[in-house]
Amino acid sequence: MFKHAIVRKPCSEMVDGLTTAQLGTPDFALALKQHARYVGILEECGLGVTVLEADARHPDSTFVEDVAVCTPQCAVIANPGAPSRNAEKESMREVLGKFFDRIEEITAPGTLDGGDVMMAGNHYYVGISERTNREGAAQFLRIMQKYQLNGSLIPLKKVLHLKTGLSFLEKNNLLITGEFLDNAIFKRFNRIVVDEPEGYAANSLWVNGKVLVPKGHPATKGRIERAGYTAIEADVTEFQKLDGGLSCLSLRF
Ligand code: CIR
């Protein structure tokens, strides 16, 4: 179970954030509303939410998941692979220091985005992507070994981050879509397949037995409910315009 979440309010400069989605420019006022509701849902799921002030120096800084990985044993400060985002890690080190006794760090030439790390119990899957390189992933797995945790590397072909196409929902349940469907490494899970038209909902978020699902993905929501979860819809269209999903907007621990 998670007790805490850390989020960062979006800044008005988010309209200049990195994106490959061709969904238009985010509406900042609407993004603020959606973000506030997201925080409310996390609180309804029992989390104490630390809301960091907007950071105008970094348009993508609301996507805090990429800046660190929180495990039950330690926090790992990531080394974000996009140059415009790398310095986001500086303030997160200080924030996480209030919650964790043990802070580890990914260092150059290694790069790693937290969105490329999926925790499944004691096993950590790490995507090798345009943001996370082999050196960064190897450093991460060495850190996990120190804490008797293990992991596997998953080279990505199309998606931005590993968790763009996969979400672990506990109890061995895995939401899975696209390029990961054929990967034998994921055959050991109870797979909840997300069909391509709803591919964005593969980034849904387990929080203490409930699952946040992006609004407007009814087939996936139904499958999650049939797997035994209460599904809570969250509207995150303005973050989708920047390639961001539900998990990207928080760190949970
Ligand atoms: C970026 O390209 O870095 C942001 N616009 C989106 C980050 C999404 N984060 C995530 O999937 N963990």
Q: What is the model's pLDDT at position 127?
A: 98
Q: Would you state the torsion angle of the CA atoms of residues 27, 33, 36, 37, taken in this order, to the nearest 10 degrees?
A: -110
Q: Which residue's CA lies nearest to atom 1 of ligand 1?
A: 18
- Ramachandran area for residue 182 (φ above 0: left; ψ -120 to 50: alpha; else beta): alpha
Q: Residue 161, Cβ neighbours under 10 Å: how many?
A: 28
| Percentage of residues in the chain having pLDDT higher than 90 | 100
CA of 206 to the centre of ligand 1 (A): 19
pLDDT, one tens digit per residue, over 148-180 is: 999 999 999 999 999 999 999 999 999 999 999
Q: Which residue's CA lies nearest to atom 8 of ligand 1?
A: 244
Q: What is the mean pLDDT of residues 135-154?
A: 98
Q: What is the model's pLDDT at position 31?
A: 98
Q: What is the mean pLDDT of residues 214-235?
A: 98
> 45, 58, 74, 161: which is the annotated catalytic residue?
161
> Cα–Cα distances in Å, from 13 out to 89, 92, 111, 225, 226?
18, 19, 24, 37, 40
Q: What is the model's pLDDT at position 208?
A: 98
Q: What is the model's pLDDT at position 87?
A: 97
Q: Is the peptide bond before 109 cis (omega within 30 degrees of 0)?
A: yes
CA of 70 to the centre of ligand 1 (A): 17
Q: What is the model's pLDDT at position 231?
A: 98
Q: What is the model's pLDDT at position 215?
A: 98
To the query of whether residue 248 is one of the catalytic residues in this protein, the response is yes
Q: What is the strand order of the sheet 190-193 is part of?
A: 166-168, 173-176, 190-193
pLDDT, one tens digit per residue, over 58-115 is: 999 999 999 999 999 999 999 999 999 999 999 999 999 999 999 999 999 999 999 9
pLDDT, one tens digit per residue, over 14-52 is: 999 999 999 999 999 999 999 999 999 999 999 999 999
Q: What is the model's pLDDT at position 168?
A: 98
Which atom of ligand 1 has the smallest separation from the CA of 161? 11
Q: Binning pLDDT at 50, 70 and 90, where does residue 223 land? A: very high
> 11, 70, 74, 248: which is the annotated catalytic residue?
248
| 54: DSSP letter | P
Q: What is the model's pLDDT at position 92?
A: 96
How far apart CA 179 and CA 186 sit, in angstroms, is 11
The whole-chain average pLDDT of the chain stands at 98
Beta bridge partners of 161: none
Which atom of ligand 1 has the smallest separation from the CA of 164? 11
Pocket of ligand 1 (CB under 6 A): 17-19, 60, 63, 65-66, 82, 85, 115, 160-161, 164, 242-245, 248
pTM of the full predicted structure? 0.97
Helix, strand, or coil (residue 202): helix
Helix, strand, or coil (residue 192): strand
CA of 245 to the centre of ligand 1 (A): 8
